[in-house]
Chain A
Amino acid sequence: MTGPVLTVRDRGGQRVATLSLGGLARRAGIVGAALVVDLAVLSSAPGTPWWPGIVVLTLALVAAEVPDSQAPLLTLAVAAGWWLAAVPWPAPSPGRVLLVALALLVLHATTAVAAIGPPGRVAEARVVRAAAGRAALVGTGTTGIGALALAADGRVVVPGAVGVALLAVAGLAWAATRPTRQ
């Protein structure tokens, strides 16, 4: 993303850090998503300890700095794990479940875009727009599927759901190991 760029250099003229609007927006997206998860958990389970929220925020900060690593996965795992551990089911507000799901999507999508290219790189606006469009598409799908699942909870038991999930895993593994044509 283009825009004003502030470059910090040492006395020898070597670049130490680069701050840009795009970089700040990326960091805000990642940390903001983690903050939404924190607030959703704390408001859904008022008696829960608050320190896991600090851990999630810290991991989000690390993920924002090193998006092309396992730090975002750890952030997602800790955030989702905290939700499952702290919030009893059925959740007091189904809307918060959807909110957390969308926050996890934002965290994932933002770190995925941030991991394209070297840190601090200048990205064309249409690359960012296309990624945002795809994330919005997934978000819409998530809202629909999630709303359906939450509405159907306790009424219908889907027969063979485990089998469908395992088949999906197998299908994904097959797709991931297809040989690349040289």
Chain B
Amino acid sequence: MSGWHPTHAHLRAVVAGFGLLVAGLVLGRVDAIVLATPLLLVALAGAQSRPSVVPVLEGPQGALAVHEGEDVVWSATISGLPAGGSVAALHPGQRWLEVEPETGQVVAADDGLATTSIGLRPTRWGWRTLGAPAVTGYDAWAAWRWVADRPQPLRLTVLPSTEQPDTTAPAPHPYGLVGQERAVRLGEGTELAKVRPFEPGDRLRRIHWPTSARTGTLHVTATHADEDAHVVLLLDAVNDVGSSGGLVGERSSMDLAVRAAAVLAEHFLRRGDRVGLRVFGDWRVSFLPSSSGRHQLRRLLNVLSVVEPGTARGEDALAARQGLGAGTLAILLSPLVEPASTQQVAMLTSAGIEVIVVDTLPAELVTGDRGRSPEEQLAWRLRMLQRRLERDRMASLGIPVVTWTGPHSIDKVLRDLARRSATPRLVRR
């Protein structure tokens, strides 16, 4: 729609004002004319102030990527407004999007120019198209209204938040070429391994002078090589258990899983490790090859933000094994509601892959009742008992199971795994 149209207020002033004027003239009553006077004055002023120029709206377009909880400002500039005019703008809200002010705002125009700014705050990860804002211009007497063509809605890629853990625990199986992890073998690095006698080929800067002077023979320092680890995040998106209230409200199992995956990915990538991602239960996303660096973090967060749980079912449990070799650290993020997830853990462990299970079922669902009918509640309690048994069985097999309570949850497990990786084990190939 374009152009200016009379408002109800203008029509009201015209109809009531001239109606009373005519009534006063016909009935010969001056009081009717007096009652008509203010309305007639407003009607005449409104008619006189009819704008002749159609305003132009310039607003933001395209796509934005933000983290959940971050503020975005939708701002539009409207030019060509009449003197004393005003602009009303309303950005539609939607689930997991806070709009401020959510009831819209009215701003005055200065020299025919008005700028309206509305704050947006996505509260849950995901990919979404926002609603188209409504912008309306008015003249000074609110007698004429211009309704702007709906501007293009913003497309938001809301990345999961990546609150970082304060952990110093090493990854258990470093075996790459670069990185911060201490390798088992000796090589060029920074961490001291031992002081040994000089051998041909040793660099002179490695000579350890105190020991050489004490013993009378040349000694050099040997260091551990600095290497990276291969980490694969396995995201169980078969079910999204519980309801999500956004960043600060209730959290579903997928909320916990996605945010945990984002935190872990950033943690390992910052250390120089290679991180990959495999998603189960989503038809769009299945696998992101391992890599390192900031671009990989961005790719991972992008993939995590478009996960749609439960869109693919019946996936082969063996799929988790593809592309993973011995020495890989696999972190399974799962609510452990599907028995298939336990099966995957068993297969990965038997293949010599270190697995950490991160339980992402919200604590209130483990203890509380789910379902409306007594039968449904009973079935849920039974499943929870079964789930507890499966967790205990995994723990008895030496598979660490951590309940995700925040970024610090993984620290102790990584330390234990790093210690345990030095011991020999028998695995099936």
Assembled-state Cα–Cα distance A76/B89 (Å): 29
B346 at the interface (CB under 8 A from A): no
Contacts of B52 in A (CB 8 A): 178, 180-181
Chain A residues within an 8 Å CB radius of B12? 70, 72-73, 76, 108, 111-112
Within 8 A of B (CB), among A120-149: 120-124, 126-127, 130-131, 134, 138-139, 141-142, 145-146, 149
A residues at B contact (CB < 8 Å): 7, 13, 15, 18, 67-70, 72-73, 76-77, 80, 83-84, 87, 89, 91, 97-98, 100-102, 104-105, 108-109, 111-113, 115-124, 126-127, 130-131, 134, 138-139, 141-142, 145-146, 149-150, 153, 161-162, 165, 168-169, 172, 175-176, 178, 180-182
Q: How far is the CA of A97 from the CA of B20 in the complex (A)?
A: 13
Is there contact, CB below 8 Å, between A116 and B88? yes
Interface contact A117-B136, CB-CB below 8 Å: yes
Contact of B31 (CB < 8 Å), options: A89, A126, A169 = A89
A150 and B30 contact, Cβ closer than 8 Å, known pairs A108-B39, A121-B90 = yes
CB contacts (< 8 Å) of A169 on chain B: these are: 18
**Pick from A68, A105, A131: contact of B8, CB under 8 Å:** A68
Partner of A165 from B3, B11, B25, B107 at Cβ < 8 Å = B25
The A-contacting residues of B in range 54-97, CB under 8 angstroms, are 54, 84, 86, 88-90
B27 within 8 A of A: yes
Known A80-B35, A97-B31, A101-B34: A172·B108 in contact at CB below 8 Å = no
Partner of A84, one of B23, B37, B40, B47: B23
Q: How far is the CB of B252 from chain A (nearest CB, A)?
A: 15
Residue from A109, A146, A162 within 8 A of B34 (CB atoms)? A146
Please give the distance in Å from B73's CB to the nearest CB on chain A.
15
- Bound complex: CA of A18 vs CA of B105, how far in Å? 14
A127 neighbours in B (Cβ, 8 Å): 86, 106-108
- B101 is an interface residue with CB less than 8 A from chain A: yes
- Check B352 for interface membership: any CB of A closer than 8 A: no
Collect the chain B residues with CB atoms within 8 Å of residue A123's CB: 105-106
A-B pairs with beta carbons under 8 Å apart, 14 shown? A73-B11, A111-B9, A112-B7, A116-B88, A119-B103, A121-B88, A121-B103, A124-B107, A126-B108, A131-B142, A134-B140, A142-B34, A176-B6, A180-B54
CB of B102 closer than 8 Å to a CB of A: yes
Chain A's nearest CB lies how many Å from the CB of B222?
62
A130 touches B41 (CB 8 A): no
> Given contacts A70-B8, A138-B38, are A76 and B16 in contact (CB under 8 A)?
yes
Give min CB distance, B76 to chain A, whole Å: 14
The docked-state distance in angstroms from the alpha carbon of A131 to that of B142 is 9
Known: A73-B12, A73-B15. A139 touches B38 (CB 8 A): yes
Q: How many residues of B contact A (CB 8 A)?
A: 65
Task: Report the separation of the CA atoms of residues A137 and B16 in the bound assembly, to the nearest whole angstrom.
Answer: 19
Contact A120 B103 (CB under 8 A): yes
Cβ–Cβ contact A87 & B31, under 8 A: yes
Q: Are B41 and A122 touching (Cβ within 8 A)?
A: no
Would you give the 0/1 interface string for B313-338, flagging 1 where the beta carbon is closer than 8 Å to chain A?
00000000000000000000000000
Pick from A15, A77, A150: contact of B16, CB under 8 Å: A77
Residues of A within 8 A of B3 (CB): 180, 182
List residues of B whose CB falls within 8 A of some A CB. 2-4, 6-16, 18-23, 25, 27, 29-35, 37-45, 47-48, 50-54, 84, 86, 88-90, 101-108, 134, 136, 138, 140-142, 245
Q: Are A165 and B22 in contact (CB under 8 A)?
A: yes
Smallest CB–CB gap between A179 and chain B, Å? 9
Give the complex CA separation of A126 and B86 in angstroms: 10
Instruction: Determine the chain B residues whose CB is within 8 A of the CB of A87 once the complex forms.
Output: 31
Q: Which of A101, A111, A117 contacts B37 (CB 8 A)?
A: A101
Contacts A72-B12, A120-B103; A146 near B54 (Cβ below 8 A): no
* A104 / chain B contacts, CB cutoff of 8 Å: 16, 35, 38-39
Leading 3 A-B pairs by shortest Cβ distance: A117-B88, A112-B9, A105-B38
Cα A72 to Cα B302 with chains together (Å)? 52
Is the Cβ of A112 less than 8 Å from the Cβ of B106?
A: no
CA distance A68 to B15 in the complex (A): 15
Asked whether A118 lies within 8 Å of B108 as measured between CB atoms, the reply is no
Q: A108-B38, A176-B50 are in contact. Are A116 and B105 (CB under 8 A)?
A: no
Instruction: Chain B residues near A146: list those with CB within 8 A.
Output: 34, 37
In the assembled complex, the Cα of A53 lies from the Cα of B32 at a distance in Å of 18
CA distance A180 to B144 in the complex (A): 11
B37 to chain A, nearest CB (A): 5
Interchain CA distance A47-B32 in the complex, whole Å:
21
Q: Contact between B103 and A115 (Cβ–Cβ < 8 Å)?
A: no
Q: Which residue of A lies closest to B42 (CB)?
A: A138
Closest to A69 in B: B8
A84, A142, A172: which contacts B38 (Cβ < 8 A)? A142
Q: CA of A63 to CA of B101 in the docked complex: distance in angstroms?
A: 24
Known: A115-B7, A180-B52. A98 touches B106 (CB 8 A): no
B107 touching A153 by the CB < 8 A rule?
no
- Residues from chain A with a CB closer than 8 A to the CB of B84 are 130
Whole-angstrom CA separation of A145 from B44 in the bound complex: 15
CB closest residue in chain A, given B12? A73
Q: Known contacts A77-B16, A180-B3, A182-B54; is A122 also within 8 Å of B142 by CB?
A: no
Residues of A within 8 A of B107 (CB): 124, 127
